[in-house]
Amino acid sequence: MGIIILQKAIRFATAVHVGQTRKGKSEVPYITHPLAVALILARVGASEDVITAGILHDTVEDSHGKVAVADISREFGDAVAKLVDYVTEKDHDLLSWEERKSTARAHIADMSHDALLLKSADILYNLRDLLADLEETGEEVWLRFNAPKEKQIEHHMKLAVVLSKVWPENPLLSEVQTAVGWLKSLPTSL
Number of Cβ atoms within 10 Å of the Cβ of 134 = 18
The answer to whether residue 62 is catalytic is yes
Identify the CA nearest to 149 among candidates 163, 160, 138: 138
Is the Cβ–Cβ distance between 121 and 37 less than 8 Å? yes
The Cα 57–Cα 122 span in angstroms is 9
For residue 146, give Cα distances in angstroms to 1, 24, 136, 169, 174: 38, 12, 20, 32, 27
Give, in order, the Cα–Cα distances in Å from 42 to each of 11, 64, 101, 178: 18, 28, 26, 20
What does the alpha-carbon distance between residue 93 and residue 116 come to, in Å, rounded to a whole number?
A: 24
User: Of 49, 58, 62, 71, which one is the catalytic site residue?
Assistant: 62
User: What is the spatial distance between Cα 96 and Cα 3, in angstroms, rounded to a whole number?
Assistant: 39
Catalytic residue among 61, 75, 89, 154: 61
Catalytic machinery residues: 61-62
